[in-house]
Amino acid sequence: MGLFTGKKGLILGVANDFSIAWSISKKLLEEGAELGFTHLPGDKMERRVRKLADPIGAKLITPCDVQKDDDIARVFAQARETYGSLDFVLHSIAFAPIDDLKCPFVNASREGFKTAMDISVYSLAIVARHAADAMPEGGSIVTLTYFGGERVVPGYNMMGVCKAALDAAVKYLAFDLGPRKIRVNGLSAGPVKTLAASAVGDADKLAGLYEMTSPMDRNITREEVGSAGMFLLSDHASGISGEIMHVDCGYNVMGSPGRAIEKVKKLILDKVQAANPELAATLQNDDELKRL
């Protein structure tokens, strides 16, 4: 008997099998959960989600446009018809127009900002409102955020501002829904290759930076993020609400590059050694290099 045996939930935002939402879904399924899924409108996105959801026997697979109130209301009405009530909801939705995402935030357009905030932040609020009505006995809501909302991450641009707003939304929604026995939390994962991450760029560089800088000297795995998301949605996290849980091998606690400096120096010296051993020997004894 698993942690989620007899429990039912709705997953919003799976795009493909690389999605963090799917990593969490797999852990939920292993623990006995029954899952329904939404997808972006359109045949292409439906096929992607059905490829994952049909083999597990999902009873609900439906399109959802989070910019339309009526569409969200329809989705939760369908969920209640299908499952009676829900125990948890996973919100994995974010978007910014590509031109506004790629440019420095100072150059972002007003319309792009409104679109990004509507889809990436307000969608959590309205989803939580309908989810609460589908959780008469209480439940758990988890959204996916990122460290770029807490500190500047070059290249994250407008989405960093949206994630900062999303983090604040988690706290206010936790307060609003607490009396209804509904917990709201955010999961902040380190860099993983997803469809969304590919739009931001430099994902490989970020992964390398995490490996060199984090206290654990490595980056996270999808399985670790999946397990953490499953935990936050479970009864084992019954006393946790309004939190942003970091799953990043400790990267967020660092106030300096830490051991990365020595690692970079070693990489440089190794390359110089291969090309010019005499220069490498000089550099190893150079007080200026040691002070880097």
- Tell me how far apart the alpha carbons of residues 24 and 223 are, in angstroms, rounded to a whole number: 8
Is 122 a residue of the active site? no
Give the H or E element holding residue 205: helix 203-213
The DSSP code for 19 is S
Is 146 a residue of the active site? yes
- Tell me how far apart the alpha carbons of residues 290 and 54 are, in angstroms, rounded to a whole number: 58
The two structure tokens encoding residue 149? 């909302």
Among 127, 111, 144, which residue's Cα sits nearest to residue 71?
A: 127
- How deeply is 63 buried, as exposed, middle or buried, from its count of CB atoms within 10 A (0-12, 13-18, 19+)? middle
Q: Do residues 77 and 130 lie in contact, with contact meaning Cβ atoms separated by under 8 Å? A: no
In Å, what is the CA distance from 82 to each residue of 10, 58, 139, 206, 236?
A: 11, 10, 17, 41, 26
Among 70, 63, 176, 172, which residue's Cα sits nearest to residue 121?
A: 172
Q: Which of 83, 122, 146, 210 is catalytic?
A: 146
Q: Which of 156, 172, 210, 251 is catalytic?
A: 156
The residues annotated as belonging to the active site are 146, 156
